[in-house]
Chain A
Amino acid sequence: MTIARATTSRRSFLGHSYSLVGVVAALVILAWTLVAILAPYVIPHSIGDIVDDDYFGPMRQGLWLGSDYLGRDMLSRVLMGARYTVGISLAAVSIACFSGVVLGMIAAVTGGWLDTCLSRFLDAMNSIPSKLFGLVVVAAVGSSIPVLILTLAVIYIPGAYRFARALAVNINTMDFITVARVRGESTVYLIGSEILPNIIRPVLADFGLRFVFIVLLLSGLSFLGLGLQPPLADWGALVRENIGGLPFAAPAVIVPSLAIASLTISVNLLIDNLPQKIRDRDA
């Protein structure tokens, strides 16, 4: 029965099988990435310009997504918002996962006091509520893009560390690790060539998941006014500043919400439907 399910809606190409859902999700993510890169060249209006006489204007020609609470062009603001949301989240998740996974593998391979100290320190970090931590940091050093990236990264390092360490500890007990140790291999080789290839799939899935968390946390911080400062705005900030348009069903509040939903859901669908290499013993 499992076989039957696996074969429906999967296509094969270049020795891998793809599911349709995964392909669609990948296209959505690709589209948002392109928008993030090209936004400054395609926006019809500057994000600070007030171009509408009315606030919370409806969708119409020239203002394709209506206007916001100050009468600014919503399309421009959403397109530019993609830049901040995708860019900041991607930078933060890359730092978090890279440091977390490397530290986790080192801790698993080395063991002993290094493992104990790292684990306890990061457990302590993990116990600080993330929004509160962001609030304190922003209050102390002010809000800027580098500060946001670093704060978000630090918040998600302990989780990535725990996850990678748990996986690496299992691999570390295998005989091939013992063989490599007896060969006299260094820790760098052990984690890079023996352990990483065996945990890369779950680590990538975790990367995707953490990206979603960071998008949501960034949006949450911006919603509280701790994220990007006006006139810059990521999607979370856009929702917050236009929340007053909710009673009028203004597109200004709906569109950025949809943008957040489409990106996060697509990332989740993609990591659940990554291409699978077809392994066929006799072929």
Chain B
Amino acid sequence: MSNLVEVRNLRIEAKTDSGRLVEIIKGVSLDIADGEIVALIGESGSGKTTVALSLMGYARPGCRITGGEINVSGRNMAALSEKERARLRGTDIAYVPQSAAASFNPSSTVMEQVIEVTRIHKLMPPERARQRAVELFRALSLPDPEGIGARYPHQVSGGQLQRLSAAMALIGDPKLVIFDEPTTALDVTTQIDVLKAFKSVMRAGGVAGVYVSHDLAVVAQIADRIVVLKGGEVQETGTTAAILSAAQHPYTRELLAAFEPKPRQAHADADAGTKQLLRIDNVTAGYGAVRADGLPLIRAVDSVSLVVEKGRNLGVIGESGCGKSTLARVIAGIHPAAAGDIVFDGKELQRAARKRSQDQLREMQIVFQYADTALNPAKPVEDIISRPLAFYHRLDRQARSKRVDELLDMVRLPRTLRYRHPSELSGGQKQRVNFARALAAAPKLIICDEITSALDTVVASAVIELLKELQRELGLSYIFISHDLSVVEAICDEIMVMYNGERVEQITPDKVTAPTHPYSKLLFSSVPKLDPTWLDGLVRDPELVSQYGHR
């Protein structure tokens, strides 16, 4: 057998509540040579994680491997007993999960957890394992390789934790490592460090890898070959360069197209952009005890001012923890500001939402990042969308029902969806319902807090297109909060860059190539490009990285 992994005609079935069998993987075949990194990409629900997990002979609860062969270094994982599989996991095949934070045990040190694999499989004495772990920490360019092992998971950053979980996977000297969207939850500036570390370690050790992701640009940096999945079937396979330059399958082209959103056309009606809709002046807000000067101990938002004009959009961009979400909550009145003024539509607004009038509340709507928690799981879509209609507009039952149909049409959802519960919708559908509820209030301003971050590329770009269309039809303004520059660029007239609670720069999208503030430079240069050589060719000013990066 020439290849390390040979998957032939893999079939996996899942069983629904009513006992119906659904084939979720429909005859997938793929090969991975020694030392090769293969990326599995596709939208959510395409079966990429299911295929990756099956390489360990694992099927998630309710699923069953029903056919095909999964040969990993000559052994058919599908046919082995659970005990034999357990022996291979950690030694031959290792796994790096999406959320490292959730995969570490908070009550024991990082080192204990990294060397646990060697203890379980009795690979080497603990002393030797510790030395090996420190070598790996160094190879993964973790700061303080000797000391970091003694810390607890909450004492290291998200990017470091993700690299530590890679160390955990590599310590057993596996032949194959499965990466399950390891950088999706990280900031772009951190993502680069993690990707670089992964790439150098994998290359040095000659370890083969499977990299599951929905981000084509990330995959382009690390993978030798790309396998595109959709609906449990392989759509296209090819070398990274071939897929990026000459994609054959329509779905792959769609993925590529979604990555580069159409630039926003210049505003047609010039007179619309003259009136101020929202102005905030020197707003400060934060958490913790209030000090003598009336300001909170920890300032998440520090004297930020901004202006949103009618019919135009403001983008707020920055890494996690920079205070952009707090800013959204301050404007909406969920988290009352400690100081500063908020003027909306010519009138001074109260800082706390419960002191604002019903009309003021109606005219400013906020849409949250996680549609899963923003929609009441116990209610059908119909009830969710019609509540603002009943509450603000006092519509009767018939008028509400008619309006719900219109709103569902507006967000491009089939009308029959109104009877479903949120749990029965896909991520993109949920976010559309979430948005329809905000539209139901007939607002003037919608604050979008990272609304596309939980969605995959194709769906996110469709949602952005929808937002633009609705803006043209309804004359809305958006405040668009995101950590994703390409998304903000696509929809906003002005972009405000935040760092550490402060506004560092405000620029227009046509000038993102030439930011003036050093942090903006670092941030914008860290966005991955669809060029396989981008990561290797990337040179970052070390002074900038040490000043603003979180390593």
User: Do A198 and B378 touch (CB < 8 A)?
Assistant: yes
Interface string of A1-45 (1 = CB under 8 A from B): 011000100001000010000000000000000000000000000
Residue in chain A with minimal CB distance to B374: A175
- Kindly state whether residue A279 has any CB partner on chain B within 8 Å: yes
Q: Tell me if B517 is interfacial: C-beta within 8 Å of chain A.
A: no
Q: For residue A6, which residue of chain B has the nearest CB?
A: B17
A282 to chain B, nearest CB (A): 7
Contact: A194 with B62, CB < 8 Å? no
Q: Which of B144-152, B286-294, B353-361, B527-535 participates in binding chain A? A: B353-361
B376–A182 touching, CB < 8 Å: no
Minimum C-beta distance from B328 to chain A (A): 11
Q: Which of A3, A176, A282 contacts B373 (CB 8 A)?
A: A176
Instruction: Please report the C-alpha to C-alpha distance between residue A180 and residue B387 in the assembled complex, in whole angstroms.
Output: 9
Name which residue of chain A comes closest to B378, CB basis.
A197
**A interface: dominant SS:** helix
| Interface 1/0 per residue, B367-405 and A, CB below 8 Å | 010100111111100000001100110000000000000
Tell whether, in the assembled complex, residue B22 and residue A197 are in contact, meaning their CB atoms are under 8 Å apart.
no
Report yes or no: A182 in contact with B61, Cβ–Cβ below 8 A. no
Which residues on the B side are within 8 Å of A179 (C-beta)? 366, 368, 374, 437
| Residues B62 and A182 in contact, CB atoms below 8 Å apart | no
Q: Provide the residues of chain B in CB contact with A129, threshold 8 Å.
A: none
Of the candidates A2, A185, A197, A281, the one whose C-beta lies within 8 Å of that of B16 is A281
Could you tell me if B332 and A182 are in contact, using CB atoms closer than 8 angstroms?
Answer: yes
**Interface status of A132 (Cβ within 8 A of chain B):** no
Interface residues in A149-198 by Cβ distance below 8 A to B read: 174-176, 178-185, 193-194, 197-198
B376 lies within 8 A of A176 (CB): yes
Residue pair B361, A280 in contact (C-beta under 8 Å): no
Chain A, residues 265-283, CB within 8 Å of chain B (1/0): the string is 0000000000010111111
Query: With A3-B62, A179-B366, A183-B361 given, is the CB distance from A278 to B379 under 8 Å?
Result: no
Please tell me if B511 contacts chain A, counting CB pairs below 8 Å: no
List the B side residues contacting A180 at CB < 8 Å.
Answer: 387
Q: Which residues of B contact A178 (CB under 8 A)?
A: 334, 368
A279 touches B333 (CB 8 A): no
Q: Contact: A184 with B20, CB < 8 Å?
A: no
- Given A179-B368, A179-B374, A283-B20, check contact A185 B391 (CB 8 Å): yes
Residues of B with C-beta under 8 A to A278: 17-18
A175 touches B353 (CB 8 A): no
Least Cβ distance of B444 to chain A in Å?
15
The interface residues of chain A lying within 8 Å CB-to-CB of B348 are none
- Which residues of the partner chain B approach A283 to less than 8 Å between Cβ atoms? 16, 18, 20
Contact B334 A183 (CB under 8 A): no
Q: Is the CB of A198 within 8 A of B18?
A: no
B1-40 interface (Cβ within 8 A of A): 15-20, 22
> A174 contacts B61, CB within 8 Å?
no
- Distance between Cα atoms of A283 and B19 in the complex (Å): 11
> Which residues on B sit within 8 Å (CB–CB) of A193?
387
Contact B334 A175, beta carbon cutoff 8 Å: no
Q: Are A184 and B358 in contact (CB under 8 A)?
A: yes
Q: Are B361 and A174 in contact (CB under 8 A)?
A: no
| B12 CB to nearest A CB, Å | 14
Q: Is B66 an interface residue (CB 8 A)?
A: no
Cβ-defined contact, B333 with A182, below 8 A: yes
Residues of A within 8 A of B (CB): 2-3, 7, 12, 17, 174-176, 178-185, 193-194, 197-198, 200, 276, 278-283
- Given A174-B376, A175-B373, 19 more A-B residue pairs with CB atoms under 8 Å apart are A3-B62, A7-B19, A175-B370, A179-B368, A182-B334, A182-B353, A183-B361, A183-B387, A184-B391, A193-B387, A198-B376, A198-B378, A278-B18, A280-B20, A281-B16, A281-B424, A282-B16, A283-B16, A283-B18
Give me the 3 closest cross-chain CB pairs, A-B, nearest first.
Answer: A197-B378, A175-B374, A175-B373
A-B contact pairs, 22 of them (CB 8 A): A3-B62, A12-B18, A176-B374, A176-B375, A178-B368, A179-B374, A180-B387, A181-B354, A182-B334, A182-B361, A183-B361, A184-B358, A184-B361, A185-B391, A197-B376, A198-B377, A279-B423, A279-B424, A280-B16, A282-B16, A283-B18, A283-B20
